Amino acid sequence: TITSGSGAILTTTGIIFISYLGLAELASISEEVKNPSKNLPRAFIASAVVVTVFYVLIMVAVVGVSFSYGSMATITPLADIADLIYGETGKFLIVIAALLATLSTANGVILSSSRFPFAMSRDLLMPQWFVEIHKKYETPHNSILITGMIMIIILFLFDIEQLARLGGTFNILIYVLLNTAVIILRKRTLPGYEPTFRDPFFPVTQMIGIGGSLILLPVLGSLPLLFAISLVILGVWWHWFYGKDKAIPEYNIFDLLENNIEPAIIKPNNVVKVLVPISSIKHENDLLKLADYLGDEIVGLHVIKVPDQTALKFAQEAFHEKQIEIDSDFKEEFEKYPVIVGHKRKYITAFDHSVSNSIIEQAEIENVDLVIMGWHESNRFQYSLGDVTNEVLSSLKRHIVILKGYFSDRITKIGVAYNGKDNSVYGLHLAKKLALNTGAKIEIITVISPDEEKERKKKIKEELQSISDSEEVIPITFKILERYSVEDAILEASKCSDLTIIGDSSQRFKISFLGTLPQRVARHSKNPVLIVKKAKPISKQYIIYSLRKISLKLYTKFAHFLKE
């Protein structure tokens, strides 16, 4: 046990940190506070000041009396000091005060802690039993009951010092998260988030809070830290086991970091630059036609793969000398586009040892908005090593659409699988561009579970109706299908459309290159399917792209070093 020096100060600070738990408790009951915009900041500041002053004065008194009466090795210093000054009466009053303080603290902790399962239940992260309100007292009685029982059980499992360390550890983690949340939220445009109080020293105060808290964590011991980490893991497991398919938030932490809470407003007049990798004359026409409809400038890319043992410069010289015949055929077909007046075109012949790497790099060099690729082979998405499409999907930092099947010369109806997320919103935008250039009508297809709540069904219908009514030029209808199988519902609807547009999964770090649903729909649909995948700054694709760039730079430097 550390009894002196900075280690003792830090350890003691971590243990008594639980005394400041009341500050976090205030936040958990903010919904029940009158005029919270004014009262909560005052309460936060007043609580911190009062508790700090009160504790400092007590410590001054304890240390002063200890020096006056000599060293006092005791675990009840206040009671002993009161006994020295006022006798048994003083000791009795301290005991009563301690009892009242403990009861008031327990009451406050139960009050605030019970609101956590209550809020989680309301967000569908816990059973609805916790959200029930007592008819007479208007309190979440079930949540209060369970919270109180858990606290009593914990009292029997740990001694007072262990509880203090556990409480201190949780409190420190809470403050780290609170300060981090403030830093994130203050720099984001979150709808409805308009705080009336702002820290004049932002973000210095929050950074000091985070740094100081992290310093205290290790000194509390391994058991509290292990217990806290175990609960975090338990929470993650619970979300995966219970809340994953029930609680679907409108946005997540990554959306906050990207400041992408609401779907980005896509301006119809924006100039869109489209890259079309050309690898087969047979299917080039489909992709270029689609690019002409979706973009304002088409960049055709023909990548000539060079054997690894051949230098790229040598391959380029050989090409310019012989003018490979197949490239001439590609370029001749490309020259037929764009058909739409005002659209521009650019043809590029690239040489690379990796076709996918060339596509990814040219997309960055040309600063394109969209990449269009085709999926014609039956085994296209078997994820075999070396598959060009898969490699592009794994690292591309641009929006991409993949056309499965052949693009018909006559498009009269476009079906859009819509769930309100980024990829489906962007898919609807592309459907509108297609409809404007083809004269097709759009049918929005939304699939919901038959067990969905009535309020939720009503909200979805109102949203779709709003989308339909807001469009004046393009005829848009919608269909809500109540099915347990989303895949079967979309496949059923696709039979009635000349083209079905479906967004990829919104998961940023999924193992597969495309979500299971769009893959299955594309595989089994008899009509053409367009899979839409919108690029996101925080995603597996960006990470892989960055790692590839770093590894390439290191390889280049190493090769240069060996030559020297």
- Secondary structure, 3-state, 406-427: CCCCCCCEEEEECCCCHHHHHH
Pairing of strands 297-305, 344-352: parallel
Q: What is the pLDDT of residue 1?
A: 47
For residue 546, count other CB atoms closer than 10 A to its CB: 12
Cα 241 → chain centroid: 19
DSSP strand pairing (297-305 vs 273-277): parallel
- Taking 90 as the threshold, does the pLDDT of residue 428 lie above it? yes
Q: Each residue of 16-29: pLDDT tens digit?
A: 666 666 677 777 78
Homologous superfamily in CATH for domain 267-404:
HUPs (3.40.50.620)
* Residue 547 dihedral angles phi and psi, to the nearest 5°: -65, -40
Q: Could you give the count of Cα atoms lying within 13 Å of 411 in the half-sphere of its Cβ?
A: 28
Q: Which of 153, 168, 155, 121 is nearest to 140 (CA)?
A: 121
Please give the model's pTM, rounded to 2 decimal places: 0.72
Radius of gyration of the chain (CA): 32
Domain with CATH 3.40.50.620 in the chain: 267-404, 408-533
From residue 186, alpha-carbon distances to 175, 189, 258 in Å are 16, 8, 13
Contact present, 500 and 490 (Cβ < 8 Å): yes
For β-strands 399-404 and 529-533, DSSP reports them as: antiparallel
> Strand, helix or coil at 103?
helix
On the question of pLDDT at 327 being above 70, the answer is: no
**pLDDT band for position 381 (50/70/90)?**
very low
Element (H, E) at 345: strand 344-352
Burial code (b: 16+ CB inside 10 Å, e: under 16) for 223-237 equals ebbebbeeeeeeeee
Q: At residue 464, does pLDDT exceed 80?
A: yes
Q: Which residues pair with 417 in a beta bridge?
A: 445, 502
How far apart, in whole angstroms, are the C-alpha atoms of residue 553 and residue 561?
12
Residues 532, 503: contact at Cβ < 8 Å?
yes
Query: pLDDT-derived band of residue 2, with 50, 70 and 90 as boundaries?
Result: very low
Nearest to 396 by CA among 361, 345, 421: 361
Which pLDDT band holds residue 442 (cuts at 50, 70, 90)?
Answer: very high
For the ranges 7-21, 53-67, 263-277, the maximum mean pLDDT occurs at 53-67
Task: Tell which residue, 528, 539, 534, 462, has the closest CA to residue 501.
Answer: 528
Section 40-58 average pLDDT? 84
Adjacent-strand bridge partners of 447:
481
Strands (E), 134-234: none
| 167-206: pLDDT as tens digits | 777 778 888 888 888 888 887 777 777 777 888 888 898 8
203-221 residue pLDDT tens:
898 899 888 888 877 777 7
Q: Which residues have C-beta within 8 Å of that of residue 11, sequence separation ≥ 6?
A: 2, 219, 220
Cβ-proximal residues to 113 (8 Å cutoff; 6+ apart), any chain: 25, 28, 147, 151
Residues 6+ positions from 272 with CB-CB distance below 8 Å: 294, 295, 296, 297, 369, 370
The answer to whether residues 380 and 522 touch, using CB atoms and an 8 Å cutoff, is no
Q: Which CATH number fits domain 408-533: 3.40.50.620, 3.50.50.60, 1.20.1250.20, 3.40.140.10?
A: 3.40.50.620
